[in-house]
Amino acid sequence: MEILFSILLILVAIALIGIVLIQNAKGGGLAANVGLTPQMLGGVRKATEDIEKVTWGLAIALFLLCLASGFIFQSRSSEVPTPKVQPVELQAPGELPPPTLSPEAPAK
């Protein structure tokens, strides 16, 4: 299931990048690159609106896939046992730690 969401996220992200690169920030978009006459602008305007709708749809799909994969990956990570952490004794500044003898070191 995680692999499916990962693949879908990558595909939607790549499609969103491509569709955004097609658009023009100043509103020219496809009409500026094709050089159409004013009589044909209705069709280009329609294409620009369609590209904008696809952009919004891909952005919403990416957002929803990110939310869903967050819940799926979180549920999987909660199944993994976490190691127990041993408490650490805190010492006051300037205090030396208690001496410990290692088994290899000879006692004096």
CA 108 – CA 100 distance, rounded (Å): 13
Q: Are 53 and 36 in contact (CB under 8 A)?
A: no
Mean pLDDT taken over the chain: 74
* Domain assignment of residue 86, yes or no: no
Helix intervals (H) in 23-107:
29-34, 41-77
Per DSSP, the three-state class of 104 is: coil
* Domain assignment of residue 97, yes or no: no
* Domain assignment of residue 39, yes or no: yes
> What pTM does this model have?
0.53
CA 108 – CA 90 distance, rounded (Å): 28
Q: Are 20 and 55 in contact (CB under 8 A)?
A: yes
What tokens were used for 76?
Answer: 């999987």
CA 31 – CA 35 distance, rounded (Å): 6
* Domain assignment of residue 83, yes or no: no
* Domain assignment of residue 82, yes or no: no
Tell me which residue of 87, 63, 82, 81 sits closest to 8, measured CA to CA. Answer: 63
Q: Tell me which of 86 and 14 has the higher pLDDT.
A: 14
* Domain assignment of residue 104, yes or no: no
pLDDT by residue (tens digit) across 1-18? Answer: 788 888 999 999 999 999
Number of separate domains in the chain: 1
Determine the structural domain holding residue 35 and report its residue range.
2-77
